[in-house]
Amino acid sequence: MQVAVLSGKGGTGKTFISVNLACVTENAVYVDCDVEEPNGHLFFKPEITEKQPVSVNVPEWNESKCTFCRKCVDFCRYNALAMIKEKLYVFNEVCHSCGGCMILCPQKAITEKPREIGVIETGKSGEVTVMTGCLNTGEVSGVPVIKALLEKLDGSSDTIIDCPPGSACVVMESIKKSDYCILVAEPTLFGVHNFQMVYELVKQFKKPYGAVLNKSIENDNPARKFCEDNKIPVFEEFPYNEQLAKLNSDGLIAVREYEAYAEKFRQLLSAVKEALS
Amino acid sequence: MKIAIPVEEKTLNTPVCVSFGRTPLFVIFDTENGEFEFIDNSAAASQGGAGIKAAQLLADKGAKAVVTFRCGENAAEVLNPAEIKLYKAISGTASENIEKFKAGELSLLNDIHPGFHNHGGKE
Amino acid sequence: MKQLLVLSGKGGTGKTTVSSALIALSGAKAFADCDVDAPNLHLVTAQNIKPQTSDYYGFQKAFIDCEKCIKCGLCEETCRFNAIHEFDVNVSECEGCAVCSEICPVHAIEMKDLSSGEMILYKDDVRTFSSAKLKTGSGASGKLVTAVKKQLKDNSDNSEFAIIDGSPGIGCPVIASISGVSMVLIVAEPTVSGIHDMKRIIETAKKFGTKCAVCINKYDVNESKSDEIEGYCCLIGIEVVGKIPFDSMVSKAVNSYKSIAEFPESPAAKAIEEIWDKINKLLF
């Protein structure tokens, strides 16, 4: 089974939930799709067994074949090409790797070469296989890294996907192949406002979903109310706890420190498995 | 020689636009005969790489100098091989900048800012 | 117009909490929410007026005219983004490169404008607040961020100063928001994740040559991590302009649609006021 953990708002506890859930799931694979700011590995501290660079294709110009017709420059929707004094200039950072210039060149004077934009690190922490996608700083899009991450999964183990914040492209990419979505909500107006967005997204993608209320407070929890009003099943609630906050801030994994948390996460795992069956 | 200045309105009596890549218009002024024309900057509406496209436009128009407040790294990479010199604009109208240019009182623009890649698509 | 941009790297550190307080304390008449994916600033900046909204068009997208289509499949084969299946374009996947349109042997594919979001403008005699919302699942967030900043600039001619609430991460929308700002204030969190992410956003801002300052939010959740942040900033020459204590008043304020600045006696508000004093000096 592949379970994605998302929230809309940042900082609600996606990593907390996904890391701990992976720890109580037998032989799980934890995949960090928040490639702009991956955090799971900071908790797992995995022993790295593989580093795979992720590249995108950018145009390579063959001067000898070029007739300077400028078809490539005029076609490029991203303005990634310029032709000055019979020399082609390629601007890699704005290139979207669509292959258009190469396909359309009448002289076949453009080919492609790979350009590294990030890396996937695979390792082990206890029983958990940890896969971390990391986008190089200055690069604009993590989508190719997320695609490469998901391509590496063979579906043989239970997989937990730690998603990026928001509900845009990168999140959509991360949940594409998931069987189930856990939506993490925090008890603030901001949290609920953004929770609503991912709720819409998972419905749009027709993914089954359930909620976890994190940093929960006793009264007036707008997240609880939202779930009640919309009949969203709430699987677990983690009350705000100073000790847990400190544990987290020190990069420690709750289920590996306290049995009480291990039990709660085992219950969460059962609830998800039951919902899936 | 033709010099190009980014402006927001079709008159020489208008301030120099603060943006290069996304200025709505350029005025191309010929210092030899005083003739000038306004050209639409098709780069302004670009999804991205606006500086690159604007620079290509000016190169194609035969400009030999640009007077601007700012210029991005990508645009500069196009302007340099096109042998288009970059001059730092002074606050004032396009006319005033042209006069200063003719009098040799404008300094070269040396601080090129890194590209901002402000385009859409993948994020 | 001087612009202060609030970023964080990690989500949930308190950008909107800090921005909304800075807006109130500084009396800024112009501000913007560049977190176009998940905008929240409007919830706590007392927007009583109805905003002007307009459709935002990001990329053009490919549309296949099924009447002209001869089902040769060349478009699907060539599309690098797997956006075409069974002679239909998935607009969420389409990146508007127009290759399919160009190679279709019967010209059955046209590139058309498609709304990918909404521009939002709150403007009255006193204040201008520019925002936007990206449609769920859309791309073009960087371009939309640029549009939000332009909308702010176009509608606030006399403002000397603007505050911009940014988005988490380090990618396109963040990079677009950094363009042209006078200073970036990074709201850091004293946790292992928070420090890791803070370093990456600092690296990103530095790549664009932008002046940075850091403030530490909820610093007392882990004082030794907070000290680590101060040590790191000192090492790389970035000023730490303040430390905000964990304050339960903050979520109470937010949940009543208010900025913490409306509770000036609260510890968080006091700390942010000191931060504003420092930033004010750095900016002007």
Count Cα atoms within 13 angstroms, Cβ side, for C10: 27
Domain boundaries, chain A: 2-54+117-276, 56-116
B61 touches chain A (CB under 8 A): no
Taking an 8 Å cut-off on Cβ atoms, the answer to whether B122 and A87 are in contact is: no
A18, A268 contact by CB (below 8 A): no
Which residues of B are less than 8 Å from C208 in CB distance? 113-114, 116
CATH superfamily of A2-54+117-276: P-loop containing nucleotide triphosphate hydrolases (3.40.50.300)
Q: Which two tokens stand for residue A16?
A: 């907390």
C181 touches chain B (CB under 8 A): no
Nearest to B48 among A84, A94, A142 (CB): A94
Q: How far is CA A73 from CA A20, A80, A84, C75, C156, in A?
A: 50, 8, 11, 21, 37
Nearest CA-CA distance, residue A253 and chain C, Å:
12
C18-54 confidence digits (pLDDT tens): 999 999 999 999 999 999 988 999 999 977 889 999 9
Taking an 8 Å cut-off on Cβ atoms, the answer to whether C144 and B120 are in contact is: yes
Quote the percentage of chain C above a pLDDT of 70. Answer: 100
Quote the percentage of chain A above a pLDDT of 70. Answer: 100
How many CB contacts within 8 angstroms connect chain A with chain C?
Answer: 173
Please say if the pLDDT value at position C58 is more than 90. no
C236-253 confidence digits (pLDDT tens): 999 999 999 999 999 899
Q: Which two tokens stand for residue B106?
A: 């404008």
Closest residue in chain A to residue B42, using alpha carbons only: A79
B104 touches chain A (CB under 8 A): no
Q: Residue B71: pLDDT band by 50, 70, 90 thresholds?
A: confident
Q: Residue A179: pLDDT band by 50, 70, 90 thresholds?
A: very high
Q: How far is CA C102 from CA C61, C112, C150, in A?
A: 13, 14, 32
* Among A215-224, A226-235, B31-40, the least confident range: A215-224
C96 touches chain B (CB under 8 A): yes
The chain-wide mean pLDDT, for chain A, equals 94
A216 touches chain C (CB under 8 A): no
Q: Residue A221: pLDDT band by 50, 70, 90 thresholds?
A: confident
The complex's ipTM works out to: 0.82
Taking an 8 Å cut-off on Cβ atoms, the answer to whether A164 and C12 are in contact is: no
DSSP code for B72:
B
3-state secondary structure of C56: strand
- The mean per-residue pLDDT over the stretch C205-220 comes to 90
Please say if the pLDDT value at position A232 is more than 90. yes
B12, B93 contact by CB (below 8 A): yes
The angle that helices C267-283 and C248-255 make with each other, rounded to 10 degrees, is 90
Please say if the pLDDT value at position C157 is more than 90. no
Contacts of A162 (CB under 8 A, 6+ apart): A5, A14, A15, A18, A19, A30, A31, A32, A33, A34, A39, A40
3-state secondary structure of C219: helix
* Among A144-148, A159-163, B67-71, the least confident range: B67-71
Which residues of C are less than 8 Å from B116 in CB distance? 175-176, 178-180, 208
So what's the pLDDT on residue B38? 96
Taking an 8 Å cut-off on Cβ atoms, the answer to whether A84 and B56 are in contact is: yes
Burial classification of residue C110, based on how many CB atoms lie within 10 Å of its CB (0-12 exposed, 13-18 middle, 19 or more buried): middle
Please say if the pLDDT value at position A162 is more than 70. yes
B11-38 confidence digits (pLDDT tens): 999 888 878 888 889 999 999 999 999 9
So what's the pLDDT on residue C248? 92
Closest residue in chain C to residue A175, using alpha carbons only: C137
Q: What is the CATH number of domain B2-102?
A: 3.30.420.130
Closest residue in chain A to residue C13, using alpha carbons only: A11
Residues 148-187 of A with CB under 8 A from B: 168-170
A119 touches chain C (CB under 8 A): no
Closest residue in chain C to residue A189, using alpha carbons only: C255
Taking an 8 Å cut-off on Cβ atoms, the answer to whether C145 and B122 are in contact is: no
B117 touches chain A (CB under 8 A): yes
Domain boundaries, chain B: 2-102
B41-60 confidence digits (pLDDT tens): 988 877 678 899 999 999 99
Contacts of C28 (CB under 8 A, 6+ apart): C22, C159, C161, C162, C163
Taking an 8 Å cut-off on Cβ atoms, the answer to whether B115 and A79 are in contact is: no
So what's the pLDDT on residue C280? 95
Q: Give residue for tokens 């006696």.
A: C265
So what's the pLDDT on residue B119? 38
Helix (H) or strand (E) holding C144: helix C141-154
How many CB contacts within 8 angstroms connect chain B with chain C?
Answer: 60
> Hey, which chains touch A, using 3+ CB pairs under 8 Å?
B, C
Nearest CA-CA distance, residue B8 and chain C, Å:
12
Q: Is C193 left (phi over 0), alpha (psi -120 to 50) or beta?
A: alpha
> Which domains occur in chain C, in start order?
2-28+159-283 (3.40.50.300), 57-115 (3.30.70.20)
Nearest to B119 among C143, C178, C209 (CB): C143
The chain-wide mean pLDDT, for chain B, equals 87
Is domain A56-116 classified as CATH 3.30.70.20? yes
Please say if the pLDDT value at position A260 is more than 90. yes
Closest residue in chain A to residue B44, using alpha carbons only: A79
So what's the pLDDT on residue B123? 27
How many CB contacts within 8 angstroms connect chain A with chain B?
Answer: 71
A158, A1 contact by CB (below 8 A): yes
Q: Give residue for tokens 């991205």.
A: B48
